[in-house]
Amino acid sequence: MEPVYTELPGWQQKIEGKIPQKLEDYIKFIENYVGVPIKFVSYGPDRTQNILR
């Protein structure tokens, strides 16, 4: 078995209620790779730090 590495650009913006475009692209990459839609994005330990996509 040989690992396959994919490099994706990062993001520096704060995530507070709005998902930065580079993060959205990253999430879409994961969705396509695993074949499962991602409904929630959590960006911190507090219950209010979740985004419904």
Domains of the chain, residue spans: 21-52
Average pLDDT over residues 8-35: 91
Residue 19, burial from CB neighbour count under 10 angstroms (0-12, 13-18, 19+): middle
- Asked if pLDDT for residue 29 goes beyond 80, the answer is yes
Average pLDDT over residues 4-21: 89
* Structure confidence by residue, pLDDT tens digits, 33-44: 999 999 999 989
Q: Tokens for 40?
A: 């929630």
pTM of the model: 0.80
Q: Is 40 helix (H, G, I), strand (E, B) or coil?
A: strand
